[in-house]
Every structure is written in C-alpha cells, then in structure tokens.
Structure 1
Amino acid sequence: MTETATPALLWTPSAERIGRSQLHKYMQWLRRERGRDFKDYDSLWRWSVSDLEGFWASMWDYIGIKAYKPYDKVLAKREMPGAQWFTGAELNFVDQVFRHETASRPAILYSSETAALQQMSWQTLREQVGAMAAHLRGIGVKRGDRVVAYAPNTPETIIAFLAVASVGAIWSVCSPDMGLNAVLDRFRQIEPVALFAVQSSDYNGKHLDKGDVLAALIAELPTVKNLILMTGHSEHALPDHVQTTSWAGVIAKPAALTIEPVPFDHPLWVVYSSGTTGLPKPIVHGHGGVVIVIMVMTALHNDLGSDDIFHWYSSTGWIMWNAQVAGLLVGATIAIYDGSPSWPDWNRLWQFAGEVKATFFGAGAAFYANCQKAGVVPRQVADLSSLRTIGSTGSPLSEDSYAWIYDQLGKDIWLTPISGGTDFAGGFVGGCVLMPVYAGEMQVRCLGADIQAFDDNGKPLQNEVGELVCAQPLPSMPLFLWNDKDGKRYHDSYFDMYPGVWRHGDWIRITPRGGAIIYGRSDATINRYGLRLGTSEIYRAVEELPEVLDSLVVDLEYLGRDSYMPLFVVLRPGLALDAALKDRINQAIRKAVSARFVPNDIFQVAEVPRTLSGKKLEVPVKKILLGQPAEKVSNPGTMANPGSLSWFVDFAKQRAA
C-alpha cells in the first residue's frame, strides 16, 4: 500500500504555539549550548539517530537529571539486545519527580465513579510516599525485592509505586478488572515479597467485591509475607498467614522521605506484554532508561510542562498508566479518573476534563470512535476552554476520528496520536507541535528512535507498508525478561526476524512528509482497545472447558475499521455450539482473563490449522481474514492439515460480501 494523494490538512501551528513549545525551547538550547542549529524537525531527528551519544547526552543535560554519581559513558555497549547506557551513573526515578515539588499547584487531581473531584498537594504526596517507604523498610523490603499491587487508578497506587521505587525495590501492578488466572500468571513469575491490594472496586456502575480474588492471590503467592490493604471492604475472609497492615495505619505515621540511589540500569518495574505462546513476558525496565525516554515523549513530543494539567485515561493494567504518572517528571499536575469511560455514558470523561480544566486529554483510539457513534458533543457537556492538546494511542486512529475530533473540539486543538509500546515504555512515532497535522497520519518518528519500515528481507521501504523496526538501541529497551537467564526469550521476542534490529510487531508506512501510519499488528498478539494480550491466555481459559478440544483467536484490528475479534472452537464429537455454550466460553474468558477480551463472535470449526510441529497458524488465518490469498500466506507443505484453511477462506469471502 502506497500513498496516492496528500491527505487533508487539519491543523497548522501558530507562531505563538511554536514559540512557547518545549521542542522549540530545546532546539534553542541546542543552538546556544551545543552550537547545533537545525532548520527543521527532520534535520533534528536525523541527527538524533545518527549521533546517539550526542543526542542522549544533550537530553541528560537539558532535562537536568538529578544524579548521585555522573555517568562514565553515554553508550558503552551499542548492540541490540544488550546495549549499556550511562554506565556509572546513579539516580532514582523518585528524585526526578520531587524536584518539581511546589505549593503553587497540586500534584494530583482525582475523581471516580463514586467520588467527587479532589486534589493532592505535592507536600501531601511527599509525606505519604515517605511514610509508606518507611513502612516498607520496616517490614524488611530491600533493594531488588519485588512488590506488587492489585489496585485501581487512584492516588494510593501512585504513592505505593513511588514508595517502592524510592527504596530500590521493583514495582509491578495489575488492575482489579483482570481475572485471577491472568494476575497469577504475571505475579507468580516474579515472586513478590509484599502486596498492595484493594478488597473491592467500582466499575461501570457496579460495586465489585474482590475479596475472593485477593484471598486466592495470597494463597497462590507463597512468597508474599506482607499485605497492605488499601481501600474497600469485603465479606470474604483473608488468609491469616500474612502480616496485614491498613493503608490508613501506615500513612498516619509520618516519616521523612529517604530515596535510595541506584545504578542507571537498576530495575524500576516489571510490566507485561504477551506473546502468542507461554506465559506473559515479564519485561524489566530500568530507572534511568525510563526517566530519559519518557521525558523525551512527555516534554518534547507531547509538549507538556509544569503549567499543564495532564489527563490520559487508563487502567493500571496498561502502560499508559505509567505514562500518566510520568507527567510528574515534568512537574505537570496529573488528573486521574478511576472508572469506566462509558458510565453513566460516553460524556463522563469529557466532563471530568472540564472539571479539572485539563490542558491535555488522552485516551485510546477506540474511545473517540465510541464517542462519535454515541453522538457525544464534548463542548456541550463540559467547559473545555483550557484544552490545548488531544492524544490518542492503543490502536490506529481512523481518518473519521481525526475529522470528528476537529469538528467537535475546534481547529485550534493540536491532535497528537502516538504509537509505542509496553515493551520499551516509550514512543516510536508521535507528535511534533512545530508541524502540521494531516488526516490519518502521525506526525513524526520520535527523537532518538531510528524507526523504519522493513520488507521480509530486511530492506527499508519508502512510502510502503512494512514491518515496524527500530534499527538502533534506545535507553528504555528492556534490561531483560524475568527468569530468562540465557536471554533467549528476549531475543526471540524482538530480534528473531531481523538479527540486531528490534521488530515491534506492527505494520507501518513512513509517509513522504516524514510521518507515519500504523496499520495494526503484524503478528498474532491481540490489541484490544489498547491493551495487548497473548492468545495463549485466552486458549488456556477456553480449552479448560471439557466441551472444547481446540481453539484459535485472531484480532482483526486494522486502520479505519472497528476492532473485530472472532474466536473459533473445535468441540468434542457430537456437540454443537449453542447459546448456552457460547455464554460459558465468554464467562470463562471474563473470569480468567478480563471482560475486555470477550470475543465479538464465536464460531465452530472442524479443525484449527496447524504446522507440522503443531503450532497454530494464527498469523496466516489473520491475513486470510484481512483479505490476502491463502496461497500467499501459507505453505501447504509445512502444514499438518492444509485442507483446514478452506473454511477460513470461505469465511473471509462471506465477511467481505
């Protein structure tokens, strides 16, 4: 697919907007402090990927990173995987947050389905992080220990994260909307010593008792010795073999915040990105890499500073929660909402944005599409006079959504869709406030990110759809995957197709303007409303049912179309797929994984296409359902059951009719 006409021009920055932008200020700083004068963004980007050491050193100085020890080398080891950044440096993520402490504006604004808007001052944030960090030290949590949370998007969860990071322990969080099996699949791998948790939560107008899930988590995580109970109540009793403390009891004991200096590559958190086989990948990112890469995205590509009120709707199970918290790194006030974006209706988040006077509003692409379908008129339901920027990510934003945003929010709004990933906690493609916005197109490749489109043979493509790759290392790329001692799983996840080059798993086209369009996943990973999941997690839930012998699921996320995720099941002989069995399958997925991953449709098939070695042919089936000929996406000679594809070919024709 290549471009045949220039897309519609939707926005052009004013001279005033350019002049006060963070990116303009950085370019002025480069001219003044480094003697580097760039005429436009393209020349700046090309320098940032041709002189990695020079660019990242400039970011270190421009940001003014607080370090306990300076670095010896910017890039001591260059290859991927295994690049070594800012060797010798010692710092801590938490220091970069509290250097912005001030009494002139709040740190956090927050609301939920059941609570009115409240605020937390920087002083209160520091005091509560200090008290929680002292408690963690008191119960024996030390550098390198894993501390996990089963918690929603509230200030308490942010406080817990900052407290964990401040003592040099390693953080990991799962959202309460995730099923028990999905949470255990993640937390078991990293053997946590302590757990933050809620006993109940509110979502979509319902009060959900999570006491039974929490009790099971404690029972199934034998390394957890301490539990810090956050908010909520439950009728379910908790196991008594763990030391339990209430959140309120800890916070009531003041303690000064003491921050532990750690090496640049000391683990900060474990996040999870699922492949198509096995357990979710436990990805480990470091303090320094996260700080410097997220600062590039937050300050330069999203144009956020200390005068902003930053809201990005997210659950704690999505990397955008981490990105929302990272707004504190630039001193912005972060505005967080805990609840469903559609309850009581699709107006709610716009109303929240008006209540907090948000200057930046971000959400998954599906949110905007749903608002359009629901007939939402944002400026009629909320005072959005402070709003300057709209962000989008999670899945491709269609041209219809671009048009809707400008129709509804006005021509002065800067729309900045981004594409990146949990895998490296950053952005590959993002916004540039210096440049125009064209319909359906992300503006630029991010600074320091050598992003290209490759064909199957590893050749760069110009203005054609190919595999999204990053040809050079970034400081926030994973340190390692937990329990991957020889690095094989890490290598196979990102470097198996193009040795030494990161393959991300998306289809991308670099446009003649230097922007990019993402066309969806190029692999079998599911991208459901911005949350990624491995197909294996769905298979485990479905195939535990005695009626189901085999299954296959694909996510037909593709630019300009609604997300569509069908599930295909092979049943025991003599059984037919009726409404009752469909409901049982959906309930199994809802309970074990999440309601977000319940399929759009379920179909009965005679057999699942497999290779001679038994691997399910998810990607070929996905390509067939997206309209590609079967003979071009599969080789019958490598299949155990080549005739099985004919059903899917017929199914694709019926859908296209």
Structure 2
Amino acid sequence: MEPKILWEPDSEFIKNSNLAEFVEWLSSNKGLDFVVSENARENVENYKNLWKWSVENLEDFWESVWEFFEIKSYSDYKTVLDERKMPGAKWFEGATLNYAEHAFLKAGEGEAVVYVREDGLRRALTWSELERQTAAFAAWLKDMGVKKGDRVVAYCSQVPEAVIALLATASIGAIWAAVGGEVAPRAVIDRFKQLEPKVLIASDGHFYNGKEFNKLEDIKTVVSGIPSLERVVLIPNLYESHDLKLSIPLHYWEETVDRKEKLTFEPLPFDHPLWVLYTSGTTGIPKPIVHGHGGITVEIFKGSFHMDFKEGDRFLWYSPPSWMMWNTVVSGLLAGATIVFYDGSPLYNFLQPLWQICEKEKLNIFGTSAPFLHGCMKFGLQPGSQYDLSSLRMVGSTAAPLSPEGFEWVYRNVKEDVWLNSASGGTDVMTGFVGGCPILPVWSGELQCRWLGTKVEAYNIEGKPVINEVGELVIELPMPSMPLYFWNDKDFSWYKESYFSMFPNVWWHGDWLMITDRGTAIIFGRSDSTIKRKGVRMGTLDFYKVVESMNEIISSLVVEVKGKIFLFVVPAHGIEVNEELKEKINRALKENLGAYFVADYIIPVPDIPMTLNYKKLEVPIKKILLGWEVEKAVNLDSIMNPDAVFKVVEAAKPYVEQLEGE
C-alpha cells in the first residue's frame, strides 16, 4: 500500500526552486524539453525523466551544472570526463579554480557567519569582516612558510574562526582537516599524525550540556603527539588568559588576523586536494578521505538543486567539525547564504536550544539528525506551538534513517507547511545519494528521489538492479566528489577494498536500499549488520521502527550473535523492562516482521553507544559479544558515549555465557 503524502509543494514553491530554474535554463540553452509542473504529483514522472537523462548523459549533465552556476575557472577544461571508470575518473582536466573563491562570489552586505554558544553568547561576522580576516589569516599562513599542498589542521568546537581558517587554507592551496573539540586527544593524534601538518588551530574550550570543557591539557597532548607541527594558533573561546606552555611557538588568533591584506586565490587544478575528511573510525584507523577543490565545488552547486539554498537564506545544520555536515554548512556560503552555528549540546535544557535558534535567528533551513528528531518526539516536544517558526522553509534530517513516525511528528508538531528533506549519503562523497527534491511530494518514511547525476541502484544478490525490492546501495557511475584517494594510499588498495570489493567496478556503500516505482528511496540501515534467520534477511532499521514506536522505549540496538537476536532497549523514565513489556515487544516484532524475528534476549541498558556521526554501534558490539577484545573491536576515542559500550557488554554478559555453556 502506498504511504501517505504528508506535504506537497505549492506552485510558488516549485516555480521558485533552483531545480525549476535549471530545467528552464536547459530548455533555453540546451534545447532539452524537460518539464516541471506546478502540480507536485505530476512531477513524479517529470523528475524520473530528468534523473534518467542526468545519469545516461553524465558528461552533458555535469557540463550543464558548470555552465548554469558559472563556475569560475582560470583556464578551459579539455574534457568533462576522460573515462567512466572508478576509481580514478578524471573530471574537467585542464580547469584551474579555487573552492574558497566561490565562497565569496555572492558576498552581501549583512551577516555571513553567526555563532551562538550554549550559554547564550552570540557573535556574528559580516561578509566584509569574513573577507578581511580570511585575507589576513591567509597572508599569515604564507608568512609562516605554509605552501601549496601543506596541511593545516583544526581541533575546535563550532567557532567561526574555523570557517575563516578553512577558507584561508584553501585560498592558498594548502590542505585542511578538522576534528571537533568533543574528540579525545588520542583519536585526534590518530587522524592528524598521518597528515604531517605544519599548523594546528585549536579553541581553548567549549560548553556542552551545561558543563565547561577546558581543552588546554588536551591541546598539549595533541601537540606532543604530532612531531611535524611547527606552530599552534589558539582561539580564546572561553578564557581571557591562558597558561599554555608548548614546545613550539604559540600564537593567539587576534595576532594572526590583525592586518589588512587583499584576498587572493591560488588557481588550482580541478583535482588539487581541498580537505581530508574522516569516517567515524569505530573499528580501526579512520579512512582519511581526500576531496578535491573542483569535485566539491561542482557537487555543492549540484546539491543546491536538492537542498534549494537561496542567496540570503539563514542556514544551520547542527554538526561539529568532525562530521561532513559542518563542511556542508560552510559551503552554504557558495550560495550566498548566512551560515549559523550552535556550539553546545542539542539535548541541553530539554532539547530546546536548536528550536530557540530557529526562532531567534529566523532560520530558513534547519538541519539536524534523525536521532535528534526521534528524541524530540519521545520527549513530547511541540516546537511549532512553543516557537515562532514562520521563517522555516525546510527541516533536514540525516545521519540515520528517520522513521515514518518521525516524519509524521514533524508535520504534526513542528510545522504543517514545511519541506521535510530526509537525505542519505556519505562522508565518502561529501554529499547525498538520495534525499530531497523541492518539486516532489513528501511520502511518509520515504526519501523523495535519487539525486541528479548520481547513478544509485539497489542490487540484488546477483548484482542486478531491482525496483520495489530491498538491495545493496551501489553507485554505478563516477561522481566528481568521489575521493581522489585516501591519504597514503596512492595505489588505491585501501580505497578499492573499501568500495569495490563486493561488485566489480561498482561502488558498494554498505547500506540496504529500496527504490520504489515512484522513484522514492528507503534506507534500511547498514547491510553489514543485517539480521539473518533461516535464510531470511532483515535490516536493523526494521527492528528500530517497531521497537522505538512504543512509548515505553526511547532507543534500541539489535545484533545477531551465534544465531540469537540480542535486543538492547533504553526504557522511558520510570518504565521497568519486565516480562510483560518483553512479551509486548516480541508480539509487536512478530506481527510486524514475522515469527523469525522475535528477540531471544531483550536487555535493558541506560544508553545506546553511538559514533560521533550519530550512528549506532551495531557491528562493533556484535564483534565484542563474539569474543573480540573491546580495544580491537572499537576505537573508544571515536565514540560519543564510550561508557555505553561497556554497559551494553556488561548487560549482555550472562546471556553470552549462557550461549557459550550450551
């Protein structure tokens, strides 16, 4: 049965979208007769035709993106794509450009960056001040001997100085990497040491969930663990005076930007490295993913068809600098948007801060994670009646699949007339594979479409694409923002093992996906954590949809160990996980998933362990319960709540011992 339509864009919303403007441009400039109707339901077929063209005519599509957004290049490209191969596709060879330059092409008069701290402090940078400080910091980096290809790294919370430092680093052709202040020093060293950076930028501390975190000792530890560092720039975020003694020169932020310089941009080859992003690294060394200036620039512009950024929009997507969504927020500058950061815990003060910022900052686009929205739902929040959300045009959700109940909660309790843009993609490509589309309806529990220029398919066990069936999420054709390489993996061996070991020459992402005949997409969780009983497979998300829809349960985690299903549940306040509740849970699993998928063990725990990217630790927990040492199964420095790992393992111990006894 087709799910319920929760929202349809009206004719004005559709007409004003970047995507409708692009289709009109294709007609006028390329003679292509695609249609966008003012009726969202009619656009189901219209969009399918557009997507089909974008992937079958890959080179024409990306050249159209280049021309439509007027990408600024200092030289002409020879070809759009040399060969449709993965990895190693060469895009726009011969073009020279700079990502940072595109961040200033739509500079306005007002605020460019807004910073709101958990304790209420607000700071803002105008476009002219952002440009002045970026020019000054770029000149300072060059004075300190930082050259094209050198690495500049940051260990900080969501401070605006990090935005300046990224743009300055990119402007001179140096390579950027950042890790959030919430990450333990050992994990920071693991990530940065391999890059051999010259300069570290660090904030002195931050607030999180009502607590003050002084980072000075952690900074000392990081500096002592990275021999290549030559200088440290300290951002005073919490403290006016500092007693920080280091073995290398220490500079304060103000002295590095206390000058007037002209902002210039180094013209760089399309595939010159821009930044290094890291996957969560929960089960080993994090993958150091290198993205290029050109690939990210064209992908960010293409993504604006699906995010519908507009010049002058006020845009926040809650994310620490450890996660790709922080880079996505910074990239909002390319559209001329004002980017807004909240530095603190979204859970603070009963999950209120982000909704308060929506009202006070008059946000047009507010992005968050599915776990946050599920938390608001469980907590019984009604932001729409508590706050003035009249400016809010879009609510974004990513990091994990949003349940149908989560979709319906947004329309019932946030805003009836809002575009809920649930998306799924990856740090690996710094973008989405499937997600929002401003000309289509929103169906409950479904992502609206496959993104343009992205040949997403669901493969069955034979490696064939299927519709209306669950399969492995794959990408059949190259994308400009696919990694150039992993750091120190120039022969692509780690890269190939990560993405191309399942299907030859096809990118395997490790998620279960279904594409419907309407062109929508449903993500069913990680395919490497699938529950398999008597030959029947079930995604973990199917369990969570059932269990977490119950008022008695806040969160859950499911793993299969030695043929038994272990279901860990976090009960709501005051609820006891007794036999009666266990029977109720299993009845619901039986009714919704089938008799094979009732839990053998239902175990109460205080918290579910999560990565810094808000993903549940299914595979590491399974490995530990199978006998792996904790340290080998999971990198605890990469976990948001490492105590939860031990609590889950301890709670499972008697059941595991019982299994071993059998």
Pairwise same-fold verdict (TM > 0.5): yes
Aligned residue for 1:349? 354
Q: Secondary structure at the match of 2:524?
A: strand
1:574-624 CA-partner distances (Å, limit 9, x unpaired): xxxxxxxxxxx89x99973343454364335999xxxxxxxxxxxxxxxxx
Aligned residue for 1:593? 638
Q: 1:289 aligns with which of 281, 284, 295?
A: 295
1:372 maps to amino acid:
M
- Is 2:609–2:640's contact at 8 Å kept on the other side of the alignment? no
- Is 2:281–2:635's contact at 8 Å kept on the other side of the alignment? no
Q: 1:26 aligns with which of 17, 22, 28?
A: 22
- Is 2:283–2:634's contact at 8 Å kept on the other side of the alignment? no
- Is 2:175–2:275's contact at 8 Å kept on the other side of the alignment? yes
Aligned residue for 1:102? 108
After alignment, is 378-387 or 425-434 more displaced?
Answer: 378-387
Aligned residue for 2:560? none
Aligned residue for 1:632? none
Alpha-carbon distance in 1 for matches of 2:16, 2:242: 54
Aligned residue for 1:466? 471
Alpha-carbon distance in 2 for matches of 1:8, 1:137: 57
Alpha-carbon distance in 1 for matches of 2:449, 2:609: 26
Alpha-carbon distance in 1 for matches of 2:467, 2:529: 25
Q: Are 1:76 and 2:121 counterparts?
A: no
- Is 1:423–1:478's contact at 8 Å kept on the other side of the alignment? yes
Query: Displacement of 1:13 after TM fit?
Result: 1.3
1:485 maps to amino acid:
K
Alpha-carbon distance in 1 for matches of 2:240, 2:184: 17
Aligned residue for 1:544? none
Aligned residue for 2:275? 269
Alpha-carbon distance in 1 for matches of 2:659, 2:499: 32
1:647 maps to amino acid:
L
Q: Secondary structure at the match of 1:602?
A: helix
After alignment, is 562-571 or 136-145 more displaced?
Answer: 562-571
Alpha-carbon distance in 2 for matches of 1:45, 1:599: 43
Alpha-carbon distance in 1 for matches of 2:480, 2:624: 45
Q: Are 1:365 and 2:370 counterparts?
A: yes
Percentage of matched positions with identical amino acids: 43
TM-score scaled to structure 2, two decimals?
0.81
1:291 maps to amino acid:
T
Q: 1:12 aligns with which of 3, 8, 11?
A: 8
Aligned residue for 2:93? 87
Alpha-carbon distance in 2 for matches of 1:85, 1:512: 32
Q: Are 1:389 and 2:394 counterparts?
A: yes
Aligned residue for 2:506? 501
Query: Displacement of 1:523 after TM fit?
Result: 2.4
Q: Secondary structure at the match of 1:284?
A: strand
Aligned residue for 2:141? 136
Q: Cα distance 1:649–1:269, how it changes in 2: closer, same or farther (>3 A)?
A: farther
Q: Secondary structure at the match of 1:133?
A: helix
Q: Cα distance 1:263–1:430, how it changes in 2: closer, same or farther (>3 A)?
A: same
- Structure 2, unaligned runs of 5 or more: 36-45, 531-539, 545-553, 555-607
Q: Cα distance 1:206–1:504, how it changes in 2: closer, same or farther (>3 A)?
A: same
Q: Secondary structure at the match of 2:81?
A: strand
Q: Are 1:338 and 2:338 counterparts?
A: no
1:282 maps to amino acid:
P
What pairs up with 1:563-642 in 2 under 5 angstroms? 567=621, 592-599=637-644, 601-603=647-649
Query: Displacement of 1:206 after TM fit?
Result: 0.8
Aligned residue for 1:200? 205
After alignment, is 377-386 or 345-354 more displaced?
Answer: 377-386
Alpha-carbon distance in 1 for matches of 2:405, 2:449: 20
1:364-404 CA-partner distances (Å, limit 9, x unpaired): 00111111111211123321111111110000000010000
Aligned residue for 1:647? 659
Alpha-carbon distance in 2 for matches of 1:415, 1:79: 34
- Is 1:589–1:597's contact at 8 Å kept on the other side of the alignment? no
1:133-177 CA-partner distances (Å, limit 9, x unpaired): 010000000000011000111211100110111110000000010
Query: Displacement of 1:570 after TM fit?
Result: 7.3
- Is 1:568–1:604's contact at 8 Å kept on the other side of the alignment? no
- Is 1:88–1:264's contact at 8 Å kept on the other side of the alignment? yes
Alpha-carbon distance in 2 for matches of 1:523, 1:570: 15
Aligned residue for 2:127? 122
- Is 1:147–1:195's contact at 8 Å kept on the other side of the alignment? yes
- Structure 1, unaligned runs of 5 or more: 530-554, 574-584, 608-624, 626-643, 651-657
What pairs up with 1:432-511 in 2 under 5 angstroms? 432-511=437-516
Q: Are 1:314 and 2:319 counterparts?
A: yes
Alpha-carbon distance in 2 for matches of 1:645, 1:465: 35
1:288-347 CA-partner distances (Å, limit 9, x unpaired): 1001112211x2001111031111111111110011111111111111111100112211
Q: Secondary structure at the match of 1:253?
A: coil
Query: Displacement of 1:48 after TM fit?
Result: 0.3
- Is 1:269–1:284's contact at 8 Å kept on the other side of the alignment? yes
Q: Are 1:248 and 2:294 counterparts?
A: no
Q: Are 1:53 and 2:98 counterparts?
A: no
Query: Displacement of 1:562 after TM fit?
Result: 11
Alpha-carbon distance in 2 for matches of 1:360, 1:415: 10
2:8 maps to amino acid:
T
1:593 maps to amino acid:
S
1:117 maps to amino acid:
R
- Is 1:589–1:598's contact at 8 Å kept on the other side of the alignment? no
1:460-519 CA-partner distances (Å, limit 9, x unpaired): 121111110000000000000001132100000000111111001111000121010001
Alpha-carbon distance in 2 for matches of 1:136, 1:121: 22
TM-score scaled to structure 1, two decimals?
0.82
Q: Cα distance 1:236–1:334, how it changes in 2: closer, same or farther (>3 A)?
A: closer
Q: Are 1:65 and 2:96 counterparts?
A: no
Alpha-carbon distance in 2 for matches of 1:350, 1:69: 45
- Is 1:445–1:451's contact at 8 Å kept on the other side of the alignment? yes
Count of equivalent residues: 570
Alpha-carbon distance in 2 for matches of 1:45, 1:330: 23
Q: Secondary structure at the match of 1:599?
A: helix
Q: Are 1:259 and 2:249 counterparts?
A: no
Alpha-carbon distance in 1 for matches of 2:331, 2:641: 25
